[in-house]
Amino acid sequence: MNTPSSAANHVRIVEVGARDGLQNEKTLLPADVKIALIDRLSSTGLTTIEATSFVSPKWVPQLADAAEVFAGIRKVPGVSYPVLVPNLQGYERARAVGATEVAVFSAASEAFNRKNINASIDESIERFLPVLERASADGVKVRGYVSTVLGCPYQGDVPVADVVRVAQRLHAAGCYEISLGDTIGVGTPAKARAMLRAVAAEVPMGALAVHFHDTYGQALANILACLEEGVRVVDSAVSGTGGCPYAKGATGNVASEDVVYMLHGMGMHTGVDLDLLVATGAWLAAQLHKETASRVTRARTAA
C-alpha cells in the first residue's frame, strides 16, 4: 500500500446499488426514484454506475422498468452506465435505449447455475458468446460477473479451479473486466486472497474486480486482503442495499460509503466525494424506508 505511483493508489469503484442492490430489495421503487438515484450517483465522482438489468421481468420484477430507467438517466460524460443482459434478446433491448456497456454473468458453481438459470456453466457461457460477438461488432464494452466464487448455497464449497476456469473463459471471450463475486458473503480474507491470486495467475490483475456481500460482516476485510494482492477495482452499493435471497434477513452488498471511507483513510484515491455519497445513501435509505446498512452513513448522520 505504500506505493508512490498514482495508478497503484487509485481504486475504481463500480457502483452496483441501482442494479444488484435494488433487485434484492423488498420495496419497489418507482422509475423516477431510480433515475434520481442514478443521477445523484453521477454527481459524486463515480465513473462506473451499473444502471439496471435487462433480465426478464418474470425473474426480476424489481427492474421491470429497465428501459424507462435507462432512457431517463442523465448520461454524464466520462461515466459509464453498464446494464446486465442475460442473452442476445436482453442485449438488443439494452441497445435500443442506448446502452454502451453491458454485463454478462455466470456462477462458478455448477449447482448454482443450474438452479438459477437452469443451465450448466458451459451452456450459460455458450449463451453469452453471441452477445460478446455482437458487442464487439458494436463497440460495446462487456463486463463479466462470476458469482459464488467463495461458496454456494447449494453445493457449499466452490473449488478455486472452477472460479479460475469461468473467469478465464469470460475474459478470453472478450470481457474487458471480470468481477469476482462472493454472492452469499461467506468468504474470509485468506480465502478471498487465495482465490484472487489463483485467478490472477491466468487473467491479468488489471482486468479483475472484486464484489463482496456483507452477509457475515467480512466484506471490508476481504477487500483489504484483495487490495493487498493488487486488485484496484471494487464493486459496492451505496447504503449497502440488497440482501441475499439465500440467507433471509442478511445484509446486502458492501456499502460504497464504507469502502470509500476505508480507501481514503489508507491514502488511496477514488475520485468519489464521500460527503455526496453519504448524502445519497441517506436519501436512498429514506426512499426504501429502512435504516442504512452503511456504518459511515449511520455515524455521519446520527450526530
Based on the shown chain and the rule CB under 8 A, indicate whether residue 272 belongs to the binding site for a copy of itself.
no
CB of 150 to a copy of itself, least distance (A): 9
Cα within 13 Å of Cα(82), Cβ side: 28
Q: In terms of residues, how long is the chain? A: 303
List, in order, residues 6 or more apart from 74 with CB less than 8 Å away: 38, 39, 42
Q: Which of 3, 139, 249, 289 binds a copy of itself (CB under 8 A)?
A: 249
Whether 244 sits among the annotated catalytic residues: the reply is: yes
Q: At what angle do helices 121-138 and 160-172 cross, to 10 degrees?
A: 30
Give the number of other CB atoms < 10 A from CB of residue 4. 6
Judged by beta carbon, residue 108 or residue 255, the one nearer a copy of itself is 255
Based on the shown chain and the rule CB under 8 A, indicate whether residue 218 belongs to the binding site for a copy of itself.
yes
Based on the shown chain and the rule CB under 8 A, indicate whether residue 250 belongs to the binding site for a copy of itself.
yes
User: Which residue, among 80, 9, 27, has the nearest Cα to 239 in the 3D structure?
Assistant: 27
Based on the shown chain and the rule CB under 8 A, indicate whether residue 57 belongs to the binding site for a copy of itself.
no
Q: Which three cell numbers stand for residue 231?
A: 486488485
Number of residues that bind a copy of itself (CB under 8 A): 37
Binding mask 162-201 for a copy of itself (x = CB under 8 A): -----------------------x-xxxxx----------
Q: Which of 159, 206, 217, 245 binds a copy of itself (CB under 8 A)?
A: 217
Judged by beta carbon, residue 255 or residue 279, the one nearer a copy of itself is 255
Q: Which of 131, 132, 262, 278 binds a copy of itself (CB under 8 A)?
A: 262
Backbone φ and ψ for 247, nearest 5 degrees, come out as -145, 85
Helix spans in the chain (H): 31-42, 66-72, 88-96, 110-117, 121-138, 160-172, 189-200, 219-229, 256-265, 274-287, 295-302
| Active-site position among 152, 175, 226, 244 | 244
Based on the shown chain and the rule CB under 8 A, indicate whether residue 4 belongs to the binding site for a copy of itself.
no
Q: How far, in Å, CA of 257 to CA of 108, rounded?
A: 28
Based on the shown chain and the rule CB under 8 A, indicate whether residue 220 belongs to the binding site for a copy of itself.
yes
Per CB under 8 A, the segment of 8-16, 115-123, 160-168, 290-298 that binds a copy of itself is 290-298
Alpha-carbon distances of 102 from 49, 52, 258, 286, rounded to whole Å: 11, 10, 26, 29
Based on the shown chain and the rule CB under 8 A, indicate whether residue 265 belongs to the binding site for a copy of itself.
yes
Task: Supply the residues annotated as catalytic.
Answer: 244
Q: By the criterion CB under 8 A, which residues form the site for a copy of itself?
A: 1, 185, 187-191, 214-218, 220-221, 223-225, 247-251, 255, 258, 261-262, 264-267, 294-296, 298-299, 302-303
